[in-house]
Amino acid sequence: MVKGRDQLLKEKRQRERQKEKNQRHKRTIIMSTTIFILLVVVVVGIVMVQANKNQASPPTKTSTAPPPQSTQAVPSNTIDISGQPTLGQANAPVSIVEFGDYRCIYCKQLEETIFPKLKKDYIDTGKAKFTFINFTILGPGSSLAANASEIIYHDYPNYFWEFHSTLYHNQGNENKKWVTKSLLTKIAKKTVPNLNVQKFKDELNKETYNNNVLKDHELAVNLKLTGTPDLYVNGKAIADPLNYQLIKAAIDNALNKAGN
Ligand code: CA
């Protein structure tokens, strides 16, 4: 049977429509796949950026950020504060110990925001004493600054805290080598009346008290510290040394235990 011309044309149009339909379907699949791939790329990108951000955020082991602290109690007698600058009454029931680095920005923050409150509420009232121990983890500048503070502590103990706090106030950018012998001498002159400038310079050049800096470092390493600042209240590590309420609670708890 021979198909009519109209019938042939109809079949041809049907085939063409089917072809078009198939092509549209193909295009739809390609577009959906492309959109899906783009979405996956965007999501993976966001996740990676977020992960990098988290990595870049403090704390890290070598940065100056407050490190993750062990809240495990360390008996206070394991932190030997003999030969360390200590402010307050020797027989105060609570012993607060800071491990710090003069180049650490969070240590400066502790010095400027936390320490004045501790001094007013607990040290000046005879409830606590405060000890500073060097933990030099930020390079040669940290060690040089610590050496200068040990010189002041040994030669002019009454002016240690003034020198210590002025040094923090003069802290430079953490990415720059701001600790210099001339800056340390300038701060020593400013904070110590009748400073023997030549002796100070000689001791700084010879690193006369470097063994004390190394001894401090050893104390920190024995406590498995990984960053600065670290704060201990009667031997118990404070999880966040920049949280005054947390420190206050630990001190009040220690005072209660001591029957005060
Ligand atoms: Ca020391």
**79-94 tens-digit pLDDT:** 999 999 999 999 999 9
* 68 has pLDDT over 60: no
> Whole-number mean pLDDT of the chain?
85
Confidence of residue 53 (pLDDT cuts 50, 70, 90): very low
Question: Rounded to the nearest whole angstrom, what is the distance from the C-alpha of residue 59 to the centroid of ligand 1?
Answer: 24
Of 117, 119, 247, the C-alpha closest to 239 is 247
Which tokens hold the place of 179?
């600790």
Phi, psi of 155, rounded to the nearest 5 degrees:
-90, -30
Question: Rounded to the nearest whole angstrom, what is the distance from the C-alpha of residue 48 to the centroid of ligand 1?
Answer: 43
Question: Rounded to the nearest whole angstrom, what is the distance from the C-alpha of residue 25 to the centroid of ligand 1?
Answer: 77
Terminal-residue alpha carbon distance, the chain: 115
Question: Rounded to the nearest whole angstrom, what is the distance from the C-alpha of residue 80 to the centroid of ligand 1?
Answer: 11
pLDDT digits (tens, 9 = 90+) for 105-146: 999 999 999 999 999 999 999 999 999 999 999 999 999 999
Q: For the whole model, what pTM was predicted? A: 0.72
* 160 has pLDDT over 70: yes
Name the H helices within the chain: 5-56, 105-109, 115-118, 140-155, 160-169, 181-191, 197-206, 210-222, 244-257
